[in-house]
Amino acid sequence: MLRLSKLADYSCQVMAFMARDSAIHSASEVASGLGMAVPTVSKILKILARYHLVESVLGAKGGYALARYPKDISIAEIINAMEGPISITECSSTSTCERESFCSTKGKLQNINHLIQEALDKVSLAEMITPKSHVVDISAISSRSASL
């Protein structure tokens, strides 16, 4: 099963929370807004700052702000910051595998890994916070009301 770690999941939530406005957010404000523990959010923000996804702002009203516009930050970047390179198998990101010389699936698994990476690269933080529009098929309503 492909699954993000809790820290990667939480980091996406933290970034989405911060992307809703251009304000400076304290770790305690983010934690309170998301119902998370302050130490967890602090840890996430420090890691994200190390990867230049957020910037630390000093001062009495300091905290953290996004380092770039939400449209310029991909979900892949956030996940990579928390978990390292996206890899569905160990050989997907490295070429040091004891079975490499007789593995028949390495190339295919690497292709799948690249597809997943590309898909996550295409999803921006801005897309994650944009409300999903609901399309209503009014033809179903029109035909039903005509039969009443």
The encoded tokens of residue 69 equal 């516009």
In a domain, 142, yes or no: no
CATH of residue 124's domain is 1.10.10.10
Cβ–Cβ under 8 Å, residues 62 and 45 = no
In a domain, 104, yes or no: yes
pLDDT tens track of the chain, all 148 residues? 678 899 999 999 999 999 999 899 999 999 999 999 999 999 999 999 999 999 999 988 889 999 999 999 999 999 999 998 888 877 666 666 777 777 877 778 888 888 999 999 999 999 999 877 666 667 766 555 555 5
Burial bucket for residue 93 (CB in 10 Å: 0-12, 13-18, 19+): middle
Cβ–Cβ under 8 Å, residues 7 and 41 = no
Q: How many separate domains does the chain show?
A: 1
In a domain, 69, yes or no: yes
Distance of CA 7 to the CA centre of its chain: 11
In a domain, 20, yes or no: yes
The encoded tokens of residue 130 equal 């944009």
Helix ranges (H only) for 6-89 are 6-19, 27-34, 38-50, 75-83
What pTM did the predictor assign?
0.80
48 vs 69: CA distance, rounded Å = 15
Three-state secondary structure call for residue 115: helix
In a domain, 98, yes or no: yes
**Residue 77, domain extent:** 6-131
1 vs 128: CA distance, rounded Å = 23
123 vs 98: CA distance, rounded Å = 34
